[in-house]
Amino acid sequence: MVYTINMRFPALLIIFLLTLIPVSADSFWDDINWSIRGTILYFAADNGSSADPAPVLPSLGVSADRPLWGPLRLEVTQDIYFTNYEYNTEFGYAMACNPENRSAFVMGFITGVQLTGFIPISDKGINLRVYGGPSADIRLVVQAFGLRSDNFTGDIETDPGMQTNAIRKYFWSDGRWFFPMLGAGVDFPVNEKFLLGFDLRTWVPLYRLWTDKNIPAIDGWRFGIGVRLTPRKNPD
């Protein structure tokens, strides 16, 4: 039931994007620009000396944009990451952890829609990008692989099955899947066929305004630094 409710975001996103397709589908696809990217994600956390360090994770992604008006474009992004989690029973929230402390394996699909402003800053084809918009972390949460049978004690303090269920419930409740995103990047022409871009992005845990008041203020914030490669449609 929880998945059904929260999966409405990507479904509504698809419907919204379909409404933007003009009568001429060929014209629509001709205007699409796409990119592939690699990002290093930092999931900020401050859980004390007894907890594992905040995770630094590799991520792969793609994006596609279409002109809206002048320098503005509508851009859809998709980033994928994975990591291990445990459940903090004292405060009732999920924490990323090292493999030896894992209960759940989480694969996240960060799906975003943003307005992007493209600003030429050089006659050599260098562009500045500034962007922002809503995103959803659609997390697949499963029990971690390779755990011993004697781990299943029936006590949520140590039982990975019970912790996995608690982690899944935590992520999909109180809007914890919703992360508005802000970012900036710059693209440089590599050759006649490709642009090489560098990006800085921040995902804001808006849900902290109404929940998780008892955890450190930095928890939930995400930061990313990455590169992206964009094919050039009309090389000079």
With cut-offs at 50, 70 and 90, classify the pLDDT of residue 234.
low
Whose tokens are 């029936």? That residue is: 154
CA–CA separation, 76 and 62 (whole Å): 9
Lowest mean pLDDT among 14-18, 84-88, 227-231: 14-18
What percent of the chain is predicted at pLDDT more than 90? 70
Domain 2-231 class, CATH top level: mainly beta
Q: Alpha carbon of 164 to those of 2, 53, 168: distances in Å?
A: 15, 20, 6
Residue 16: phi, psi to the nearest 5? -60, -45
Q: What is the average per-residue pLDDT within 154-179?
A: 95
Q: How confident is the model at residue 4, as a pLDDT?
A: 44
What is the domain partition of the chain in residue ranges?
Answer: 2-231
- Provide the β-strand partners of residue 85: 96, 104
Residues in the chain: 236
With cut-offs at 50, 70 and 90, classify the pLDDT of residue 73.
very high
What's the pLDDT tens digit per position in 13-25? Answer: 555 555 555 544 5
Q: How confident is the model at residue 2, as a pLDDT?
A: 44
Q: How confident is the model at residue 48, as a pLDDT?
A: 80
Q: Could you tell me the maximum CA-CA distance found in the chain, to the nearest angstrom?
A: 66
Assess whether pLDDT exceeds 50 at residue 173. Answer: yes
Assess whether pLDDT exceeds 60 at residue 91. Answer: yes
With cut-offs at 50, 70 and 90, classify the pLDDT of residue 181.
very high
Q: Does pTM surpass 0.95?
A: no
Q: How confident is the model at residue 236, as a pLDDT?
A: 46
Q: How confident is the model at residue 6, as a pLDDT?
A: 53
